[in-house]
Structure 1
Amino acid sequence: MRAEKNDLFFRFITLKDLVVFILGICTSLGFLYSKLYFLSLLSYFLFLNNIVSKNNCRNTRQFFIFYFSFFLIGCHWLIHPLRDFGGLPSLLSNLVIGLFCVYLSSIMVLGIFLFNRFFKNAQYETFILAAIITLCEFVRTQALGGFPFLMMGYLTINTVLDGYIPIIGVYGMTFLMTYLFLKIKDLNRNKLQSILLISLFSLTTLILHHIHWTKAKAPLQIGVIQTDTRKDIFINSIDSDVVRYIFMSIKQLPSSHFIIWPEGSFVLNDHLISLGTPNQLLVGGVFGLPKDTNHLPKNLLVTFNSDGEILHVHQKYYLAQFNETIPDYFTWLLKILHLPHIGLEKGSGNDVIFNSKYGRIGNLICYELLFPQLSHHVGKEVNAFFVVSDLSWFLDSSFNHQYDLAAKFLARSVEKPITIANNYGASIWIDHHGRKINSLQAQSRDVGSETMLTRKGSTPICYYGDFMIIYILALCILFVNILSRYQLYRK
């Protein structure tokens, strides 16, 4: 009877549950502080190798505890838009974040529940568990507009595994890392097979480190104007001081081919003044206000020449939930919280590429960087990526580090340089290896310029895309399930 009570989902918190909670916290630290990535990898490894238990209920509970603490620490920056901009009391803000973490964790719990229900002790159990964890991560990044942060695959950048990144992308890296961590404990069972597996994997890893999928094209000098406005982008858009600062800063970068400034810096007017030198192209985030009430404002990235002629316009496709895109049934709540409740008009996603005289540029606006399927879709056609961003909603939290980690991973997966012009956060230049070339100090008005080497060609993940990785994993799970049932039928 006592054993049955102990099996209740939340009956008692054991010492092992506490250890799992701490491992979840430690795993999230690598996303917050780049120097702690090894601690994150070690914590994730220890978690995976201690969760497989005959007690399915405890297994599920520990999955929830791990991911709840993981998301709780990793999503702490959400308190700034709720408390500092929305005006919610700290206690209520933390409660909302806690409930959101419960929702995110429940997606992972559903995955382990299905694993325990249908695949526990099945053939290829390790493969199936790694695949299910990856599929749950994919669902979590897509459901209800998506929460495309804290993906485990990001931790593999600049590790011995990063040669696989251009081939399988972030979801594939989540699977590969999870599978390897789960497989390590089985190596002693068959020493010959283990030696062959390790040798093959080591050889493949070594070869991939010497393979370059793209080729150098031409050097490009890219200037960045960083702002330090500590307000949300809807207010910044009418700040005349920011506009003057940007226009004056352009004169400090006379030799740059491109000059970039952050997202939503001002409202786009019909007539732009003459700026820069004749050969310069100016790229920046602006808002387009509608001429009638039947249309919503637009979040735009515009490219124009020094004469003020607009050459290209990209309208933001992936809009941030409850900030830029608002479900009608939530509008009343946002009004009460004094949060922006107008919403923006969604773009088509077909205007990302700008074919300039210096090469083909992929243009992204803030949130779009975090959806790899968009970048990989256009990655094979562009020579470099420009990103305009506004991280002032998260003030001086560690979200800037999470954003930079995703950018470095993306640069490695497409093997193209990425330049980010940021508001309040740190602007950064990243080369095609995913390494930081230079950055501007966060929370400061500053300008800088770096010469980046553009690239041509495509990585494998840009050809078949992230969804293909997900389809393959789902089909593999289905195939293994059918095979297992067939073998049981034969017996």
Structure 2
Amino acid sequence: MRHRLLALIAGLLFPLAFAPYDLWPLLFVSVAAGFWCQQQAGSGKEAFLRGWLYGLGMFGFGVSWVHVSMHDYGYMPLWMAIPFTAMFAAFLALFYGLTFSLSWRLGRSALVFAGIWLLLDWLRGWLLTGFPWLYAGYALIDTPLASLAPLGGVWLLTLATVLLSATLIQLRQPGPLRWVAAGLSVLVLLTAIASHFLTFTHANGPEQKVALVQGNIPQDLKWQISMRGETRRIYHELTREIPADTLVLWPESAMTEFYQTITDFIEDEGNQLADRNGALITGIPWRSVSDAGITYRNSIAAIPLRDSENDSERVYHKQKLVPFGEYVPMQSLIRGLIPFFDLPMSGFTPGDPSQPNLQVLGHTVAPFICYEILYPQLVASRSHDADVLVTISNDAWFGTSAGPVQHFQMARLRALETGRWLLRGTNNGVTAVIDHQGRIVDALPQFERDVLYSHYQPRTGITPFMALGVWPWLVLSGLLLLSAMLGRKKKHPHI
């Protein structure tokens, strides 16, 4: 029983390594304690239970903010929102139950544990559109190990975290595997040190002035029809004094009306900036009418759009939609059951994966809307020809919880992985400019209405992670598993 309790406590420690707590050494304590609990299990079933309790602690605490959007803005009673969130955490915890159980059955080594952890993290980010949240590597963004990100992204950082943590426990146990794990751990540390001296991208032209507008419109008012005129006024007032030669960024769904409904207002704002050698990038809902019917999308547009030579390089439609927030799975069965299944913006269609990047003020901009910035491979693949990354979001759905700052922390790693500056515009924070090393250059406080004046440096070049993606680390993890299975077969030939 005490090992199960320890596994739960170890999982609860895991989120403390992330923003807003930033106690990153606890990440290694958490993973090491979890591995030790797995080592002490007497059966694969017991290892699964301990892993599930570990995951329950991790997600029960780490994503508890999900209930805020359900209750505060989805009009779900608290007595329903909390159990729904608990069921979500319990489902996600199954991935760590499998991690503990499979690695126990395949030899209980640090190598296998790290390999299976990475494979199942990757699966969690893909299955059913994925939930790529709280990967261990994100907590290392402000540590010396962060230099591994351009080489292998969050995946290499996660693999390194788990391997180093589990090796601390493995070294206390007899057998040759402990020295193999120790050798790989030393190699990881030496690679991290060497990568501090490597640069894969370089400046490409002069700096560009930017202004990021944070409207800070309360979420409970934002989608009301009576708020539309006030929303236009707020963004017009914040934008009109912005100086010449500036790229202006409005957040996700800055306007809650379709572009096709308020074309004149949006284009006037963009033209005023264009007259001063500037431009506007804004998040805005998009409506398309065709023979197949009406399609709604969550979009980002470079304004002025009207009369542009190529509309496909001026508008981007979001590809990775948030379940229940932007589309409702099995909607014919569950729409209308509770108000949460009928949130505003929950009827969107995903955009085409082959969409080009945006062209603005002579720069190629790789755009990402809210949740999309959490997909490392998506960002890496769209960044090859980009001078700068732009992500817009409306994290007001999650109030004052840890959700928005966790989201911001994860977005920062995309800049480091790609060697590009990142502009992050939000409704109520965190609005910020991030440099190519993942460092915060300028930021606005949360929950304030203001404009962030800053700049970015266009960059070009390809990092190893952009070129190779996650596959080298998935293959490495598979080889670790294969070696364990072959070693187990050799030791127990009748298995």
Alignment of 1:390-405 (within 5 A): 390-405=394-409
- One-letter identity of the residue aligned with 1:61: L
**Residue 8 of structure 1: aligned partner:** none
- One-letter identity of the residue aligned with 2:27: S
Aligned mate of 2:38, from 14, 39, 51: 51
C-alpha contact 2:28 2:162 (8 A) present in aligned 1: no
C-alpha contact 2:212 2:250 (8 A) present in aligned 1: yes
Distance (whole Å) between structure 2 residues aligned to residue 225 and residue 155 of structure 1: 28
Distance (whole Å) between structure 2 residues aligned to residue 460 and residue 233 of structure 1: 45
C-alpha contact 2:6 2:37 (8 A) present in aligned 1: no
Distance (whole Å) between structure 2 residues aligned to residue 98 and residue 151 of structure 1: 19
Deviates more, 1:261-270 or 1:338-347: 338-347
Deviates more, 1:349-358 or 1:282-291: 349-358
Q: Does 1:67 align with 2:55?
A: yes
- One-letter identity of the residue aligned with 2:126: Q
- One-letter identity of the residue aligned with 2:237: M
Distance (whole Å) between structure 1 residues aligned to residue 101 and residue 111 of structure 2: 16
What is the TM-score of this pair, normalised by structure 2? 0.88
Alignment of 1:90-109 (within 5 A): 90-109=78-97
Aligned mate of 2:237, from 245, 248, 263: 248
| Cα distance, 1:168–1:192 mapped onto 2, change above 3 Å | closer
Distance (whole Å) between structure 1 residues aligned to residue 293 and residue 222 of structure 2: 19
Alignment of 1:161-200 (within 5 A): 161-187=145-171, 200=187
- One-letter identity of the residue aligned with 1:281: A
Q: Secondary structure at the match of 1:456?
A: strand
**Residue 10 of structure 1: aligned partner:** none
C-alpha contact 1:256 1:449 (8 A) present in aligned 2: no
Distance (whole Å) between structure 1 residues aligned to residue 215 and residue 445 of structure 2: 10
Deviates more, 1:163-172 or 1:478-487: 478-487
**Residue 340 of structure 1: aligned partner:** 343
| Cα distance, 1:120–1:439 mapped onto 2, change above 3 Å | same
Deviates more, 1:193-202 or 1:72-81: 193-202
Q: CA deviation at 1:373?
A: 1.0
Residue deviations 1:368-413, cap 9 Å, x none?
1011111011222212101111111111111111111101111111
| Cα distance, 1:283–1:114 mapped onto 2, change above 3 Å | same
Q: Secondary structure at the match of 1:76?
A: coil
Structure 2 gaps of 5+ residues are none
Q: CA deviation at 1:130?
A: 0.7
Aligned residues: 474
Aligned mate of 2:470, from 455, 466, 484: 466
- One-letter identity of the residue aligned with 1:284: T
- One-letter identity of the residue aligned with 1:253: I
Q: Does 1:364 align with 2:364?
A: no
Distance (whole Å) between structure 2 residues aligned to residue 368 and residue 227 of structure 1: 21
Residue deviations 1:129-161, cap 9 Å, x none?
111111111111222221111111111212121
- One-letter identity of the residue aligned with 1:91: W
**Residue 130 of structure 1: aligned partner:** 114
Aligned mate of 2:250, from 251, 261, 272: 261
Distance (whole Å) between structure 2 residues aligned to residue 202 and residue 388 of structure 1: 35
Q: Give the superposed CA RMSD.
A: 2.8
Q: CA deviation at 1:35?
A: 3.1
| Cα distance, 1:446–1:470 mapped onto 2, change above 3 Å | same
| Cα distance, 1:417–1:95 mapped onto 2, change above 3 Å | same
What is the TM-score of this pair, normalised by structure 1? 0.88
Q: CA deviation at 1:24?
A: 1.5
C-alpha contact 1:334 1:340 (8 A) present in aligned 2: no
**Residue 155 of structure 1: aligned partner:** 139
Q: CA deviation at 1:279?
A: 1.3
**Residue 318 of structure 1: aligned partner:** 320
Residue deviations 1:105-140, cap 9 Å, x none?
1122123223333x125xxx3211111111111111
Q: CA deviation at 1:187?
A: 4.0
| Cα distance, 1:457–1:232 mapped onto 2, change above 3 Å | farther
Distance (whole Å) between structure 2 residues aligned to residue 399 and residue 243 of structure 1: 27
- One-letter identity of the residue aligned with 1:147: F
Q: CA deviation at 1:245?
A: 1.6
C-alpha contact 2:19 2:409 (8 A) present in aligned 1: no
Q: Does 1:406 align with 2:410?
A: yes
Q: Secondary structure at the match of 1:69?
A: helix
- One-letter identity of the residue aligned with 1:409: L
Distance (whole Å) between structure 2 residues aligned to residue 299 and residue 240 of structure 1: 20
Deviates more, 1:457-466 or 1:337-346: 337-346
Q: CA deviation at 1:466?
A: 2.1
- One-letter identity of the residue aligned with 2:272: L
Distance (whole Å) between structure 2 residues aligned to residue 67 and residue 103 of structure 1: 9
Q: Does 1:301 align with 2:300?
A: yes
| Cα distance, 1:54–1:431 mapped onto 2, change above 3 Å | same
Distance (whole Å) between structure 2 residues aligned to residue 41 and residue 192 of structure 1: 19
Residue deviations 1:218-272, cap 9 Å, x none?
3121110001122279816872211222122222221453100111122313432
C-alpha contact 1:278 1:305 (8 A) present in aligned 2: no
- One-letter identity of the residue aligned with 2:62: G
Q: CA deviation at 1:359?
A: 2.2
Identity of aligned residues (%): 21
Aligned mate of 1:87, from 67, 70, 75: 75
Distance (whole Å) between structure 1 residues aligned to residue 179 and residue 158 of structure 2: 27
